[in-house]
Amino acid sequence: MLLTTHILIGGAIGQAVGNAPLGFALGAVSHFALDAIPHFDPGIWSDVTKESGENIWDKKIWAFVAVDLLATLGLLIVLLPQSLSLPFIAGALGGASVDLIDNVPFWQRKIHQTRIGKQIGKFHNSLHFVKKEILRKNAMALLVVQVVIIGLIFWLIEL
Ligand SMILES: [Zn+2]
């Protein structure tokens, strides 16, 4: 899933439970659940499997990640005045944490060299929907669905 989706859903969960530690934990759990659903993310263009231990991001993936990060920042700036309670922030961090730990090329190799990092990577990968032919074929539809989901969650948070 996109970082924007993970952050908003994690944040919404944190806000719903109203407790920062629980929000963080449930945000992280939501990450794994969301990744199991067939979805669009820039990883669908990467042929590198986690077996090799590392993602290699080409220009297209970097560009998409940049747009995703900017969208996330933009949404958080819009939400800041109304919704950003501590449980929301904790849930959003929980939602983002798995990808931040497991998928960022700058520190991915180092993290995978640790025992816990390797286990997180294995678990993350085992749950992630990875049938890339299906995802690539339906990339645009899956992206539109995810943007609609983001819109719905954004609307829910605003309520
Ligand atoms: Zn993930």
The count of structural domains within the chain is 1
Cα–ligand 1 centroid distance for 29 (angstroms): 11
Cα–ligand 1 centroid distance for 98 (angstroms): 6
Distance (Å, rounded) from C-alpha 23 to C-alpha 34?
Answer: 16
| Reported confidence tier of residue 152, pLDDT bands at 50, 70, 90 | confident
Cα–ligand 1 centroid distance for 81 (angstroms): 28
Structural domain harbouring 37: 3-158
**DSSP string covering 76-118, please?**
HHHHHHHH--HHHHHHHHHHHHHHHHHS-TTTHHHHHTSHHHH
pLDDT in tens, 77-120: 887 666 678 999 999 999 999 999 998 888 888 998 999 999 99
- Arithmetic mean of pLDDT, 119-124: 91
Could you tell me the two tokens for 129?
């929907």
Cα–ligand 1 centroid distance for 66 (angstroms): 16
Cα–ligand 1 centroid distance for 58 (angstroms): 18
pLDDT at 10: 93
Cα–ligand 1 centroid distance for 128 (angstroms): 7
pLDDT in tens, 16-61: 999 999 999 999 999 999 999 988 888 787 766 555 556 677 788 8
Cα–ligand 1 centroid distance for 2 (angstroms): 8
pTM: 0.82
* Residues 46 and 60 sit within 8 Å (Cβ to Cβ): no
pLDDT at 128: 86
